[in-house]
A and B are shown apart, each in its own frame.
Chain A
Amino acid sequence: MQFFADTVGHAIVLFARLVTAVRAIWDGVEPVPDKRVYFANHTSNGDFVLIWAVLPPKIRRRTRPVAGSDYWLKSKLKSFIGRDVFNAVLIDRNSDTRTNDPIAQMAEALDDGNSLILFPEGTRNMSEEPLLSFKTGLFHLAKQRPDVDLVPVWVENLNHVMPKGEILPIPLVCTVRFGEAVRLHTNESKDAFLQRSYAALVALKDTGDVA
């Protein structure tokens, strides 16, 4: 079963590469196997696939996307892809009904030696704005594990490849830009930290040329 899941994972990565010719730009941080939280903009379900695809295989195997269980447990196929192929940390986004603490789940995954891919906007960005305001999850995680590097990651152009609701991807060149890591300062307030990490992510968009 694991072999099958790995094969499907390779096939998805290969497909993503064929469509997007995705390229990583390491701009202020190196692709080393440190424990990290990669936090990225979220415009498409393919976002974490592209980030996953550009990570060196050794790091990729130890990097788990954080995703909403309401979406990824909806069908057998989605749950196979989310849980078995990408080994996602599935969290319940509904704070009224959930029984697990999402921050504790993420911290546990980090403690097991994994890196995480996190979308701090909490949902896919369908607006004209480049980036929605962050939910507080990134702050709470940083507070619980202040020694982990938080690496901003800007995924460029994927919103054109596969806008929400479309099934057929348009082949366009995508770029994944990794920026300098952010950490929570001692005594830094929630708002100040979220503002700073937001700025660090948006800054990557403005430095990037498209191709």
Chain B
Amino acid sequence: MSAPFEFILLLGGVFCVLLLASFVASMLKKRVGPDQPNPVIENLVARINAWWAMAALLAVAMLFGRAGTIILFGLLSFAAMREFLTLTAKSRADHYSLAIAFFVVLPFQYYLVWIAWYGLYSIFIPVYAFLFLPIISACRGETQNFLTRVSETQWGLMICVFAASHVPALLTLQIPGYEGKPILLIAFLVVVVQGSDVLQYIFGKLFGRSKISPALSPSKTWEGFLGGVLSASILGALLWWMTPFALWQAFLVSLLIAIMGFFGGLVMSAIKRDKGVKDWGHLIAGHGGFIDRLDSVMFSAPIFFHVVRYFWSTV
């Protein structure tokens, strides 16, 4: 267990922000009055409490380094894919291919990340799972909705396992002068992207007027989007000291991942609308399901990974 000093510093910062958030929420609650049940504030309190738990969990996992981070994201992939495949088309003929997706593809992808085999973990699901799982389904002879079934399963694997595994894959990068510190890249990604979600929520609640896409998500507004993404990018720039980036580079990278995160939320919202549900699940109080919380990270992680790998890493 060894964490870079910057990690402890960041943890202290997150702790202070959550403390402030809890304080503000309790002030708001007091102002509304104790007997006035207000769903927005109840939800806010639930969200903040869940943030405490999520921050603690993530911090503990990351203190255990590569093993802890890989196990945590493996479990998150499992929970996310469980939610995703609950809503997709499937038939009895898919039983084996679904079992293999959960119990072979998912662990193997994280094993490849563990042994840092970039050449395989970056193509294993897009190539091998993509070609072999439909073969297994086809062998059972059920043709009804076949293309829908295999495509939706593959989509679940791509987003919940492949994309999510790029978060711990950041630990395999080798950046000159940044030895022993790649864990900070994960902290940076999570803080900027999740910070962007929170800031979009706050700007949206305070100034939100004009909806971006009422058909997809009634809560996404231009004011929330611009305010959230820009302030998150400034936040990311101010965290340049924990990254291999210069200040202006940190700003641009943050802008990129915050925008990807926003569109991740939009795409996953479109799927929810398509399937007729409001939330992906119920396990994170105030937030919904795991995918509701992870959608932005899953969309930004592969892009962040490849940008950092291309411009900074030697492997």
Chain B neighbourhood of A171, CB < 8 A: 78, 81-82, 102
Contact A172 B282 (CB under 8 A): no
- Residue A211 at the B interface, CB < 8 A? yes
Kindly report which residue of chain A lies nearest to residue B281, judged by CB atoms: A211
Kindly report which residue of chain B lies nearest to residue A173, judged by CB atoms: B86
For window 14-33 of A, CB contacts with B under 8 Å fall at 21, 23
Contact A157 B86 (CB under 8 A): yes
For window 160-179 of A, CB contacts with B under 8 Å fall at 160, 163, 166, 168, 170-173
Contact status of A170 and B277, CB under 8 A, knowing A160-B90, A163-B95, A210-B86: no
For window 260-275 of B, CB contacts with A under 8 Å fall at 275
Complex Cα distance A21/B85, Å? 13
Contact B86 A166 (CB under 8 A): no
Kindly report which residue of chain A lies nearest to residue B103, judged by CB atoms: A168
Total contacting residues, chain B, CB less than 8 A: 25
Kindly report which residue of chain A lies nearest to residue B91, judged by CB atoms: A160
Contact B282 A209 (CB under 8 A): no
Chain B neighbourhood of A157, CB < 8 A: 86
Complex Cα distance A7/B33, Å? 46
Contact B83 A211 (CB under 8 A): yes
Complex Cα distance A210/B92, Å? 18
- Residue B139 at the A interface, CB < 8 A? no
Kindly report which residue of chain B lies nearest to residue A162, judged by CB atoms: B95
Complex Cα distance A172/B281, Å? 11
Contact status of A173 and B82, CB under 8 A, knowing A23-B282, A209-B277: yes
The one of B99, B103, B289 in contact with A211, judged by C-beta atoms closer than 8 angstroms, is: B289
Contact B82 A21 (CB under 8 A): yes
Contact B92 A163 (CB under 8 A): yes
Contact A210 B95 (CB under 8 A): no
Contact A172 B86 (CB under 8 A): yes
The one of A170, A209, A211 in contact with B98, judged by C-beta atoms closer than 8 angstroms, is: A170
Kindly report which residue of chain A lies nearest to residue B278, judged by CB atoms: A209
B78, B79, B90, B92 interface centre (most CB from chain A within 10 Å): B92
Give residues in A with beta carbon < 8 Å to B.
21, 23, 157, 160, 163, 166, 168, 170-173, 209-211
Interchain Cβ contacts under 8 Å between A and B, 17 examples = A21-B79, A160-B90, A163-B95, A166-B95, A168-B95, A170-B95, A170-B98, A172-B82, A209-B276, A209-B277, A209-B278, A210-B277, A211-B86, A211-B277, A211-B279, A211-B281, A211-B282
Give residues in B with beta carbon < 8 Å to A.
78-79, 81-83, 85-87, 90, 92, 95, 98-99, 102-103, 275-283, 289
Q: Given contacts A168-B103, A172-B86, A210-B277, list 15 more A-B pairs with CB under 8 A.
A: A21-B79, A21-B283, A23-B282, A163-B95, A166-B95, A168-B95, A168-B99, A170-B102, A172-B82, A209-B278, A210-B86, A210-B87, A211-B86, A211-B279, A211-B289
List of 8 A-B pairs having minimum Cβ-Cβ separation, nearest first: A173-B86, A171-B82, A172-B86, A170-B98, A168-B99, A163-B92, A211-B277, A209-B277
